[in-house]
Amino acid sequence: MHRAAFRDPTSAQYSAVTTSCVSLNRYYEYMFGSSKRQQLNKRRRTGPSELTELQVLITSPDSDCDGYPSVTSDESCESPLFLYLLYFYRICLETFSQLVFEDDYGAKSVNATQISDFPRFAHRGILLDTSRHYLPIKVILANLETMAMNKINVFHWHIVDDQSFPYLSRTFPQLSQQGAYHPYTHVYTPADVKMVIEFARLRGIRVIPEFDTPGHTQSWGKGQKDLLTPCYSGATPSGTFGPVNPILNTTYDFMSQFFKEISTVFPDAYVHLGGDEVDFNCWKSNPDIQKFMAQQGFGQDFSKLESFYIQRLLNIVTSTKKGYMIWQEVFDNGVKLKPDTIIHVWKGTQLQYQNEMANVTSAGYQTLLSTPWYLNRISYGQDWRGHYKADPQDFNGTDEQKKLVVGGEACLWGEYVDATNLTPRLWPRASAVAERLWSAKDVTDINDAFNRLSVHRCRMVERGIPAEPLFSSFCPREYKGL
Amino acid sequence: MHRAAFRDPTSAQYSAVTTSCVSLNRYYEYMFGSSKRQQLNKRRRTGPSELTELQVLITSPDSDCDGYPSVTSDESCESPLFLYLLYFYRICLETFSQLVFEDDYGAKSVNATQISDFPRFAHRGILLDTSRHYLPIKVILANLETMAMNKINVFHWHIVDDQSFPYLSRTFPQLSQQGAYHPYTHVYTPADVKMVIEFARLRGIRVIPEFDTPGHTQSWGKGQKDLLTPCYSGATPSGTFGPVNPILNTTYDFMSQFFKEISTVFPDAYVHLGGDEVDFNCWKSNPDIQKFMAQQGFGQDFSKLESFYIQRLLNIVTSTKKGYMIWQEVFDNGVKLKPDTIIHVWKGTQLQYQNEMANVTSAGYQTLLSTPWYLNRISYGQDWRGHYKADPQDFNGTDEQKKLVVGGEACLWGEYVDATNLTPRLWPRASAVAERLWSAKDVTDINDAFNRLSVHRCRMVERGIPAEPLFSSFCPREYKGL
């Protein structure tokens, strides 16, 4: 029986299991509605057709279920499901809830089935961007909940960028005080961040924060003097600023303190360090930078200066006992990386990203694909079909190389997205990516996927998530909000 | 002072007035919040800086304000606004509410200003499609409310189509019983329709229903035997059906009864009769149709058969004392039309639709433009700029011809849109169209429009409407839903 991140319980194909540490109550409501719980508890005697037992055998119990999920968490689950059950806890609930269907009279049933299932890739992520637009905590939590419904297990939190710095740092509170859209209403306090991490942990989702440097840092400069490079217009400073200034010791002092804080606030073993799209024009204009370039013998190759900075940053982060992920440019520039580094591929055409995946794995590094899954790029029609067809292991390479592909991430960059439109834009388009990353390589029947995805989209709608339609259709119970 | 459908009260440019018959209470809350009303009523004495008076002079009072709005309703309004007021009723409230701004301490103010304003076009519409996806009444009402915020005065209700027939007809209840997605949960009852019309009327919005025939009628055929043409595969019926069967008297009997009902249910003087995209293949396959074609001397020109049908339909609708709007194909096919017919242009490239507008007006007909405003067609980035630049009078023609342009409509077809994503997809993109149709021809500064539209988008968000962002930005109070 094939694996899938979402399923249609009335079809012949059953699939998909999650081992997220989730709570029963929530799923009880998803399956049976909130009103029926009391009624069922009261009932002492159950007829032969009522759900009384679910046996779940975990072949490789994850002893770490009360801890934080990690890239090595065992997510497999073998569960001979016998019909009839009343109570069980925390494991396979999402899958089981997807087996429940309702007949025309409102009765809930489950077909007898046996599932043996596990994910294809260990890293199945979604990137949300809280810098171009601030996302209220409510929106983040609702989408974590929806990630769990889709067996997504990584929330890549692109928390700050040029436009705003909503992360409230205990060590450097001026960063958000000056750099957020608003210092009180548009920030993530330590309590907010803790809540997000805990909410995610309870759903088996890792939270990997991204603090992208040396580019994409305009908002950092507002609250941290001398962090950014002063740009020059001729012989005088123009008043504008470029990337992080890589030639000052104060820069590295700041980064040491900052990433020390980050390493304690975010429990995941990895932090994403960015490193993409560094604009060299400001560095080129600055006489002090030019002087430094000459001293170092970099000539006019500013990618060497970028690598100089990144190298020192990586050493700082390594000293905090964290692994790191970086965007592909850092690898492309030849920076020396730790063996456990994950190279995040995001650029180019299909041919180009496949070549990049081949190069990265040929160098022995782990990699993660996002290029085909930029969900912020919208177009008319069913673009999920393209997302569904992309396969992160589809490049020229050995089996050893293919094993270095840890998974992928759907990215929803925030230029045109905020609380008003994020959720329907993300779902169910990200569900197509979720299945590609969960299911077996040979699960590629797109018509079957369309049917299951349609059912799953109405399931999300019924659970209160405004997941948009795939095409002309209806849900038995339409979305009740706006 | 220029005219605009929305404005930024803190900028130097004031504009835009509506004369919609709207209620004070709603606008009171929009302007001052619901909590302050009681407090203000209690206060007997007001200081000199408090709002105590608003003088509004209507130069041409619309005596029809308690009736239904119509294409000839006078929407002009001259209002010497003096600061300081407490109470007035129904007129210019949207405009006035847009003049209110809040300082950093929460105090509300209005700059002293004088407005003399009126719309450029009488017909400023939005088409919503409730057939590809059923839209809950709540969604329709919320969008009518938002239309009023944008001075849109026509709701073109594309209520039925191939996919479903949600209109519950008293005369032919089988149409929705069989043709709706669900006969009870996915229909618009007579009470629902009445509520929509009344809710719209109170906001100065006309409701023009569209019952599109002879194509786009698959859902009609489920509940009305022999209405559609049986398609043939060779010499035998294939079991599928084509457009409305134009050769049976029963068809016209049905249409007479049906449109008699429609003429009483919908008070507007116009009904939209569709007439677009008729597929001739089924007609071609049917031997009875072939025989009829020969009898009538139509040869193989099926557009003559289409015109034969439409001509009889138009006569039927005329007998109900309604005017009609039709899609451009009906005009293109040379059907004889009443002089007050409005030809709705929706096809082609810019050059093609401009030629069509020239041809239609040169023939002396009124016209309405939608081609550049198909808001269902989404793309990455700020497509509102293209919508804003299109001008319905921008074609080669005399002044007399230009006067025949009654306005335009933004269309949000429903294949990929339902309650989950309709509202943010419509707003503020439709606001750009709203301003093009309201403001003077020379209001074309796109940077000014961006700034005012950004303010207006946050105004809609604050009023509870999930209007999506134009670009990286924030609203003082972000959307509180999902």
Half-sphere exposure of A164 (CA within 13 A, CB side): 25
3-class DSSP state for residue A352? helix
pLDDT tens, residue by residue, B130-174: 999 999 999 999 999 999 999 999 999 999 999 999 999 999 999
Average pLDDT, chain B: 88
B286-300 average pLDDT score: 97
Q: What is the mean pLDDT of residues A140-152?
A: 96
Residue in A381, A470, A482 nearest the CB of B423:
A482
Question: How many helices, marked H, and strands, marked E, lie in chain B?
Answer: 18, 14
- Residues of each domain in chain B carrying CATH 3.20.20.80: 123-463
Query: In terms of Cα–Cα distance, which of A207, A216, A329 is closest to A270?
Result: A207
- Round to whole Å and give the CA distance between B54 and B395: 42
Predicted pLDDT at B53: 57
Q: Is the pLDDT of residue A205 over 70?
A: yes
Cβ pair A474:B376 closer than 8 A: no
ipTM, two decimals, is: 0.89
State mean pLDDT over A469-477: 97
Q: What is the pLDDT of residue B21?
A: 34
Is B255:B200 a contact under the CB 8 Å cutoff?
Answer: no
Amino acid at site B86: L
Check A421 against B378: CB less than 8 A apart. Answer: no
Contact (CB, 8 A) for B251 and B213: no
Is the pLDDT assigned to residue A19 strictly greater than 50? Answer: no
The neighbouring-strand residues paired with B93 are none
Predicted confidence band of residue A431 (pLDDT cuts 50, 70, 90): very high
Task: Supply the pLDDT for residue B138.
Answer: 98
Quick one: pLDDT band at residue A55, thresholds 50, 70, 90?
A: low
* Average confidence (pLDDT) over B360-378: 98
**How far is the alpha carbon of B390 from chain A, nearest alpha carbon, in Å?**
20
User: What pLDDT does A101 receive?
Assistant: 84
**Could you tell me which CATH class the domain B2-33+52-117 is placed in?**
alpha beta
Give the distance from residue A375's alpha carbon to the nearest chain B alpha carbon, in angstroms: 10
The closest alpha carbon to B68, from B366, B269, B265, belongs to: B269
Asked about A277 being catalytic, the answer comes back as: yes
The arithmetic mean of pLDDT across residues B411-438, rounded, is: 98
Give the CATH number of domain A123-463.
3.20.20.80
Q: A417 in contact with B at a CB cutoff of 8 Å?
A: yes
Q: CA-CA distance, A272 to A280, in Å (whole number)?
A: 22
Partners of residue B474 in chain A, C-beta under 8 Å = 133-134, 164, 181-182, 186, 418
Q: Decide if B476 touches A, using CB distance below 8 A.
A: yes
Question: Nearest 5 degrees, angle CA B44-CA B48-CA B52?
Answer: 60
Residues from chain B that touch A380, judged by Cβ atoms under 8 A, are 376-379, 416
Q: Which of A53, A277, A400, A415 is catalytic?
A: A277
Q: Inform me whether the C-beta atom of residue A474 falls under 8 Å from chain B C-beta atoms.
A: yes
Residues of chain B with CATH 3.30.379.10: 2-33+52-117
Quote the pLDDT of residue A88.
34
Q: Rounded CA gap, B182 and B134, in Å?
A: 10
CA A129 to CA B196: how far, in whole Å? 38
Asked if B200 contacts B144 with a C-beta cutoff of 8 angstroms, the reply is yes
* B55-104 pLDDT per residue, tens: 655 554 444 446 788 777 766 555 544 333 322 333 367 777 888 888 88
Residue B287, preceding bond cis, omega within 30 degrees?
no
User: pTM for this one?
Assistant: 0.90
Among B347, B371, B360, residue whose Cα is nearest residue B401: B360
Tokens of A466: 């405004």
B332 touches chain A (CB under 8 A): no
- Using pLDDT thresholds of 50, 70 and 90, give the confidence band for residue B34: low
Q: How would you class B82 by CB atoms within 10 Å of its CB: exposed for 0-12, middle for 13-18, buried for 19 or more?
A: middle
Q: CB-based contact (8 Å) between A106 and chain B?
A: no
pLDDT digits (tens, 9 = 90+) for B461-480: 999 999 999 999 999 999 99
Task: With CB atoms and an 8 Å threshold, state whether B136 touches A469.
Answer: no
Nearest to A134 among B377, B421, B474 (CB): B474
Instruction: Judge whether A377 is closer than 8 Å to chain B, CB to CB.
Output: yes
Greater pLDDT, A46 or B179: B179
User: For A106-120, A155-169, A189-203, which range has the lowest pLDDT when averaged over its residues?
Assistant: A106-120
Q: Residue B424 burial by CB count (10 A; 0-12/13-18/19+): exposed, middle or buried?
A: buried
pLDDT band at residue B9 using 50, 70 and 90 as cut-offs: confident
